[in-house]
Amino acid sequence: MELKKLDLLTYAKLFLVIIYIVGIVGMVYYRDFFSSLTPFNLIAAAALLFYFHTPKNKTLFQFIAFVGCAGFAIELYGVQTGKLFGSYQYGESLGIKINGTPPIIGLNWVVLTYCTAMMVYSLRLSIYLKSFIAAVLMVIFDYFIELYAAHADFWYWQNDQIPLQNFIAWFIFGFFFNLLFFNFKFETKNPFAFFLYAIQLLFFIILNLHYHFFHAA
């Protein structure tokens, strides 16, 4: 059984590598089409991520439901008021929207919270310090998405300026979502979590390097 799980994990990682390599090429040459596939990519990544979570019990689904709904709610409020992250509007790449906010963004909060929490899960630190580190990892990830977001038609900032307020809000919400994760007391390890975080981060770093290098040229 352990050998089978190891094989499945290897295949899942290989599958993700292929998907993101294709995604990089697609975003360079067919950006509009590949940007529109973002919701499907996020759903597939989340499905693989939680497949490797054990045990799949009520606690896991409670965490997913709460963070997913809370993440969507704060984004909805943020878009409508500009008071949380700053003034921004969503584009079309993240799919259908409710009052200007795509529900899929809630799943993004779930996946990123879960991945960063799992990355610091085994550290011999208090849950507050682990939540702090995980929140920093979330802000780092957000930083590289923000640099590319408008080019991918994800979202647009007023005057094309990413406010510091956005990163502060990301840190605060990331900290509390991670604190919630650790209070759920999951007794698990997920070897797919770090890999998913790393490959998605690398994906956006490469796209940013390509865009800004050729844009500057």
Domain ranges for the chain, please list them.
2-216
pLDDT for the residue 1: 44
Contact 180, 67 (CB under 8 A): yes
pLDDT for the residue 166: 97
Which of these, 88, 128, 136, lies nearest to 112 by C-alpha position? 136
Cα(146)–Cα(212) distance, rounded to whole angstroms?
13
- pTM comes to 0.92
Res. 6: pLDDT tops 70: no
pLDDT for the residue 3: 47
- Joined together, the tokens standing for residue 186 give 């999951």
Res. 217: pLDDT tops 80: no
* Tens-digit pLDDT profile for residues 66-112: 999 999 999 999 999 999 999 999 999 999 999 999 999 999 999 99
Res. 153: pLDDT tops 70: yes
pLDDT for the residue 133: 98
Which of these, 178, 187, 36, lies nearest to 112 by C-alpha position? 178
The dihedral region occupied by 95, where left means phi > 0, alpha psi between -120 and 50, and beta the remainder, is left
* Tens-digit pLDDT profile for residues 179-191: 999 998 777 789 8
Residue whose entry in the numeric block shows the structure tokens 């994760």: 181
Residues 94, 98, 99, 103, CA torsion sign: negative
